[in-house]
Amino acid sequence: MVEAIDHARLARILVALPAHTPPMSTALSPRAERFFLLTLAGIQFSHILDFMIMMPLGPVLMKEFGIGTHEFGLLVASYSFSAAVSGILAATFVDLFERKRLLLIGFALFGLATLACGLAPGYSTLIVARGLAGVFGGIMGALVQTMIADAIPFSRRARASGIVSSAFSISTIAGVPLSLWLANHLGWRAPFIFIAVLSVVFIAVGLRFLPELRHHLGEEKRAHLLSATFSVLGDGNHLRALLFSALIIFSGFTVIPYITVYAVNNVGIALQDIPIVYLVGGSATFISARLIGHWADKHGKVELYRKVALLAMLPVLALTHAGPLPLWGWLICSTSFFVLISGRMIPAMAIIASSAQPKLRGTFMSLNGTVQSLAMGLATSLAGFLISLDDSGRIVGYPLVGYVAVAANLVAVWFVSRIVIHGRNA
């Protein structure tokens, strides 16, 4: 049970500016580390579900607003582009504040923006609300990865990323099917209101179980507001890691936003069976994410990333070229896609977070969030223009999207060896 929260204390935490106190040890006991990672996974679950729910709602929203694939692509991309802008802004201040307070403030604002999505009266206002959700979701995603790298030694960092990445699996197992059930029975607004309520719950959990992380706060003063940003961008290794990050995100998000629309319109999967697709795929990734994290720590993060990324090309091509299939056939394609595309991100994020200089990690991860969000937005927009609907409502051009994804993935596999990892013994 979550302990009762003193409302005055909650208000002080959410509005007070943190003082620059001496660094504190981030060593956590096994029990504290477990609660720390599970709490971050819960926070990650909320904003991943908020982003993911747009994809399976695609056919519903396209019918509700009378829009096509291009307009739907812009609706999805509005979140990503806003997250990119917020990442640039966050890079100017994220390393100036204690991590926990900053994360919970961003989470509270994210919950309000998601509630605005559920209350949006039309397409234009929904785009604006999605943009606001992206602003705060982008900051949260960067902070979650920063806190993992701050608190967990490199030797266990991929496993820790695997635990937090289980948020993706749980969102597909439970979150997306539940949200679709709510949408089918109460309308498309219901999932967003549900996520807003969920955010309040996880804020309470975060107040109880997240440790304060201050070790990055020192006596050294910045020459100016952008000095940390310039320091990050002036490091060649940081730039290589950011390019690698962009490539792996681009290779996934050319395909991901249109999977549900393609499944319904081209493969012949019934709309009411879509929750089964996410349930099966999420269950498989829930198991595989932790295994991949363990294997990455044991056998090497770079080596395992390469193997998983190369295997991922097979379901990408199968999924984007599929014709009419029975449900079981589509489940094979979509589940292998979910497992391998999300699985390569586990060692990849450990590599990316560990490429940063520790004192600049928050700034670096904020800029990484910007780069990833830009890659998502560009990939979604590009795919939206490469594909179109024919007179029968079928998607045309999806195989080309698959080839683009495979090309970006191959470049990322080649490029990963050029990244230097810091703190291997940390």
Q: What is the 3-state secondary structure (H, E, C) of the chain?
A: CCCCCCHHHHHHHHHCCCCCCCCCCCCCCHHHHHHHHHHHHHHHHHHHHHHHCCCCCHHHHHHHHCCCHHHHHHHHHHHHHHHHHHHHHHCCCHHHCCHHHHHHHHHHHHHHHHHHHHHCCCHHHHHHHHHHHHHHHHHHHHHHHHHHHHHCCHHHHHHHHHHHHHHHHHHHHHHHHHHHHHHHHHCCCHHHHHHHHHHHHHHHHHHHHCCCCCCCCCCCCCCCCCHHHHHHHCCHHHHHHHHHHHHHHHHHHCCHHHHHHHHHHHHCCCHHHHHHHHHHHHHHHHHHHHHHHHHHHHHCHHHHHHHHHHHHHHHHHHHHHCCCCCHHHHHHHHHHHHHHHHHCHHHHHHHHHHCCCHHHHHHHHHHHHHHHHHHHHHHHHHHHHHCEECCCCCEECHHHHHHHHHHHHHHHHHHHHHCCCCCCCC
Two tokens, residue 364? 């670096």
pLDDT score of 16 more than 50? no
Confidence of residue 38 (pLDDT cuts 50, 70, 90): confident
Residue 13: predicted pLDDT: 37
d(CA 131, CA 77): 9
Residues 6+ apart with CB under 8 A from 240: 355, 415, 418, 419
Residue 267: predicted pLDDT: 92
Residue 172: predicted pLDDT: 65
**Lowest pLDDT segment from 208-217, 249-258, 343-352, 417-426:** 417-426
Question: Could you tell me which residues are beta bridge partners of residue 389?
Answer: 395
309-357 pLDDT tens trace: 999 999 999 999 998 999 999 999 999 999 999 889 889 888 888 887 7
Confidence of residue 368 (pLDDT cuts 50, 70, 90): confident
Mean pLDDT of 119-143: 86
Confidence of residue 69 (pLDDT cuts 50, 70, 90): confident
Confirm whether pTM is higher than 0.85: no
Residue 217: predicted pLDDT: 61
Q: What residue ranges define each of the domains in the chain, with the CATH number in brackets?
A: 30-418 (1.20.1250.20)
211-248 pLDDT tens trace: 777 665 654 555 445 676 778 778 888 899 999 999 99
Residue 151: predicted pLDDT: 78
180-217 pLDDT tens trace: 788 878 888 898 999 999 999 999 988 888 877 766 56
pLDDT score of 165 more than 80? no
Share of the chain above pLDDT 70, in %: 85
Mean pLDDT of 21-50: 72
pLDDT score of 6 more than 80? no
Mean pLDDT of 378-404: 87
pLDDT score of 89 more than 90? no
**Lowest pLDDT segment from 53-57, 93-97, 298-302, 336-340:** 93-97
Mean pLDDT of 110-130: 91
Residue 88: predicted pLDDT: 74
Residue 400: predicted pLDDT: 94
Residue 219: predicted pLDDT: 47
The whole-chain average pLDDT of the chain stands at: 80
What phi and psi, each to the nearest 5 degrees, are found at residue 389?
-100, 130
pLDDT score of 9 more than 60? no
Residue 11: predicted pLDDT: 41
